[in-house]
Amino acid sequence: MGHDSFPRRLVAIATGRWAATAGSAAPAPPGRPSRSGGPARRRGAAVLTALATAACVVCPAAARADGGPARERLLQRQFTSAAREFGVPVGVLLALAYQESRWESHQGRPSTTGNHGVLGLTDVDVAAVNAVNAVNADHPARRGAAGAAKPRVTDSPALHTLRAAAALIHRPAEEVKRDTLQNLRGGAALLAGYRNALPGPVRDGAGGWYEAVTRFGRGAGEDEPGRRFADRVFETLRVGAERTTSEGARVRLAAEPDLVPPAARPHRPAEQPSARPSRRADGPVAECPDELGCDFVPAAYALADAADPTSWGNYNPADRPADGLRIRTLVLHDTEGGFDGAIEYFQDPRAQASAHYLVRASDGHVTQLVATHDIAWHSGNKTVNMHSIGIEHEGFALPTDRPTWYSEQLYRSSAELVRHLAARFAVPLDREHVIGHDEVPAPTQAAVSDMHWDPGPYWDWEHYFELLGAPPGPADGPPRPGDTVAVVAPLVATGPLPPQARELQARNAVLLRTRPAADAPLVNDGSTRPDDWSDTAVTGARYVVAGREGDWTAIWYDGQKCWFPDPAGLSTRRVGSAGRTLLTPRPGPASVPVYGRAYPEASAYTDHPAVDPPPVVALRATLPAGQVYVAADESPRPADFFQQRTIRTDTPDSRILVVGRDTYYAIRFDHRLAFVRSSDVRVVPPTAESG
């Protein structure tokens, strides 16, 4: 029935900041499945490819090379100039831009949801988006047996803030996208216009701009979005900020610790309200930090076919962790479509898919869809679903025509939510427990080609873990064989790049080769396509060092010794031995099996005749003798299996949890996690050298 899968047919719609500018409305043909998955993410990529205008990619090192110190200070001067021209306090403009982009221009490239420039101005061609939605909804990979809905994007001012800003300063929209000064001028003019339109007297000073910043955050569209954005902007203004951008611009915002913004004025009802269903007054309460202001819009728990009690969607009622299903992992996804479309999709029982939470790109608003004690169908792997919480993010994993970016508000709300969940369920804040959908193992060999690779190569893991309060730490020199290291590959490279790396500038991972040479083949016959995960180690993932030659480091990966450039240890960080378990095959066999799920042995089902025992079948991959891998946890976990036969949960055999005697470790095996049976491995002392 696919109760454990996430069908790749989310209809791409949006009513917030979404997509890029217009292009061809026809998506590219699906083509041959890649190593990393079937047509789902490629179709999502085709959506954005069809809509986006090509952008010039500037090498950050080259951008810095021309101007020296003057170039470093240019962006600060541009903020001052734009603020002065339109009467906006420069601190307000700086804080607003920090919350939109952290002062990054992204060389004019749009975000996954249509933001441009340091001020995140939006530009979306609604007709083009709807044309692509209609085509994609008819594609077999997006259709269930009963078909899929074709919701349309509702136009709103929030989708066109860039063109409104361009009109105010009488500059072409394309220039406002790509020229930082014009982007700042246009945004400042827009902000000043919002303030001038406010009724009644307006307070002087930075505090008098709170309401205008609120309107900026919601694009003068919906009523509620923008308030949390304004709160974040003014908190940034209160505490100050300073950083050097990826292009070498040094920007500083002086703190205003005594700033107290006034209470926001009541808003008038929005002219074009969201189609998103509102929470029922008697409905469940969202499990979120209070400051996020989450709502709860329940995913469907209903029959897709009234005559078939096994046809329900979109989750399993449970009682985690009280029922023995401990929550161990937080899995991050992207929607491959819009916020409202994702909610509508999860409310259709035919979807056979759900997630616990959904984060909106424009303002970071969080909606809960499934209670954390229930099992959402989000990862495509039942073992992972039973022990995880799934969090969807509005956006796209891979627009194929250029690197792109996720919104800062989305990152901040997601990180705040993850910190809350990790503390509540004792989930470690590391990259073996806070993972992407792309790191979930295929449950069986046949499912490998169907596994997803969202949130994709443009998800900034380094910045995300800084927001989580668990940054990678400073470089501490070249690693030694036997060390455990975390990979560090910044999303936006700031140093000189070889020609082949420029096209991979935002890959967020290191490429692995068969030997320590730039011309050596990539492992697994891999490619440099960002959607090919077979030859990559992603930022934060932990491995054991297998060798070191010159500026190259080797790690044990996918049963191989794989190499990547690591001059002076800049691409790795040593991981201490505290709480860390290293595993190697037990003595005797040449290799031991690797599994995609951790199911009990057949004899565990003896007392549960109502359960159909699933087979315990290994993947083709093996863990060879002498190699060492990092376990996610200090101790192995019991194998278990949860079964629910029908939508009814009030009969003795309606929901059964089978726990076996076999135990498994989750390990970082290749790009993805995997499982090994504890009886097949032994623990290696942390100080032992390997390779």
Please check whether residues 489 and 600 belong to one and the same domain.
no
Query: Given this model, what pLDDT does residue 246 score?
Result: 84
Residue after which a domain boundary falls, among 467, 500, 523: 467
Residue 261 located in a structural domain? no
Please check whether residues 629 and 671 belong to one and the same domain.
yes
Please check whether residues 325 and 405 belong to one and the same domain.
yes
Please check whether residues 383 and 349 belong to one and the same domain.
yes
User: 24 CB contacts (<8 Å, ≥6 apart)?
Assistant: 50
Pairing of strands 357-359, 366-368: antiparallel
Which CATH number is 461's domain given?
Answer: 3.40.80.10
Please check whether residues 86 and 164 belong to one and the same domain.
yes
Please check whether residues 651 and 595 belong to one and the same domain.
yes
Residue 446 located in a structural domain? yes
- Partner residues linked to 217 by β-bridges: none
Residue 678 located in a structural domain? yes
Burial 651-686 (b: 16+ CB within 10 A, else e): eeeebbbbebebebbbbbbbbbbbbbbbebbeebeb
Please check whether residues 437 and 497 belong to one and the same domain.
no
Please check whether residues 565 and 597 belong to one and the same domain.
no
Residue 40 located in a structural domain? no
Residue after which a domain boundary falls, among 556, 574, 592: 574
Please check whether residues 302 and 430 belong to one and the same domain.
yes
Residue 39 located in a structural domain? no
Q: Distances from the Cα of 475 to the Cαs of 246, 494, 496, 519, 544, in angstroms?
A: 18, 15, 18, 26, 17
Number of domains in the chain: 4
Query: Given this model, what pLDDT does residue 159 score?
Result: 82
Please check whether residues 502 and 439 belong to one and the same domain.
no
> What is the DSSP track for 30-64?
--S-BTTBSHHHHHHHHHHHHHPPP-PPPPHHHHH
pTM for this prediction: 0.85
d(CA 584, CA 670): 15
Residue 643 near residue 656 (C-beta atoms within 8 A): yes
Query: Given this model, what pLDDT does residue 129 score?
Result: 58
Residue 204 near residue 2 (C-beta atoms within 8 A): no
Please check whether residues 439 and 355 belong to one and the same domain.
yes
Q: Which token pair is 554?
A: 């080797």
Question: Average pLDDT of each block of 10 consecutive residues along the chain (691 residues)?
Answer: 36 30 28 31 33 30 51 93 97 97 90 89 75 47 36 69 96 96 98 92 86 82 68 94 92 93 47 37 82 93 94 95 97 88 91 95 92 97 98 80 79 97 97 96 92 88 95 90 92 44 59 96 90 90 97 97 95 86 97 98 94 94 97 96 92 89 97 97 73 39
Handedness of CA 127, 130, 131, 132 (dihedral sign): positive
Q: Which token pair is 221?
A: 């569209």
The three-class DSSP label of residue 522 is: strand
Which CATH number is 179's domain given?
Answer: 1.10.530.10
Residue 291 located in a structural domain? yes
For residue 428, give its domain range: 276-467
Please check whether residues 645 and 677 belong to one and the same domain.
yes
Residue after which a domain boundary falls, among 424, 439, 467: 467
Residue 536 located in a structural domain? yes
Which CATH number is 490's domain given?
Answer: 2.30.30
Residue 115 located in a structural domain? yes
